[in-house]
Chains A and B, each alone.
Chain A
């Protein structure tokens, strides 16, 4: 059974930093690209970032480019999202998702981790 478990969310002040983790199990992690998608309270889904299976290639939404960094550790079956320069508009539940192939749709999603940016 595929499982994705996000952690690391919490309350942070504007300008602060936070690192999200997503631990994967139930599939060969190193064979699949992974993405982060966020959902602001009461709003829709918004793609944030993606990383290729090897970690060589990374992709970002314009809204987070230069502030967020995606990475992965295939030995730990974990993908990360390092967030810095956080803004109130970054407040959202952050989901990690397993892609079927880089750039294709996501066949499994985690339950999400809430990030709140507020003073």
Chain B
């Protein structure tokens, strides 16, 4: 099974900050990686797929990069609506999710 390791588990930041979350795969997954945002009591929302493609309607301050085993999600200027938990997901072989990164107000 492919394991996904996300870091950090919690990130404290202020509005306007540039934020980066990292996701590592236990083996190469090419670019078959997605990022989701989840708010309390809600289902996840797709942000990025194929490592770097923005899903329809997602603000351009979100971006993704990487391939193989190392990936990053970047929020260029954190907005109040962005305080949430973020998950990476590989779909190279089945589905596996990272442990999540909770972005909290500093």
Contacts and interface: CB of A to CB of B under 8 A. Distances in A.
Size range of the chain B interface in the assembly: 20 to 34
Do most interface residues of chain A lie in helix, strand or loop, or is the interface mixed? strand
Interface in B42-92: 42-46, 49, 55, 87, 89, 91
Contacts of A112: 42-43
A47 B96 contact: yes
Secondary structure class of chain B's binding surface, majority of residues: loop
Contacts of A100: 49
Nearest to A110: B43
B43 A35 contact: no
Contacts of A103: 91, 94
Contacts of B97: 44-47
A47 to B, nearest CB: 4
A107 B34 CA distance: 10
Contacts of A107: 46, 49, 55
Contact of B43 (A50, A59, A105, A111): A111
A100 B55 CA distance: 12
A103 B46 CA distance: 15
Nearest to A48: B95
A74 to B, nearest CB: 22
Nearest to B92: A103
Q: Report, nearest first, the 10 A-B pairs whose CB atoms are least far apart.
A: A109-B43, A105-B34, A47-B95, A45-B97, A44-B100, A105-B49, A95-B43, A107-B46, A44-B99, A109-B44
Given A45-B44, A104-B91, 20 more contacts: A35-B95, A44-B99, A45-B87, A45-B100, A47-B97, A50-B95, A59-B94, A95-B43, A97-B43, A103-B94, A105-B34, A105-B46, A105-B49, A105-B89, A105-B91, A106-B34, A107-B49, A107-B55, A109-B43, A111-B41
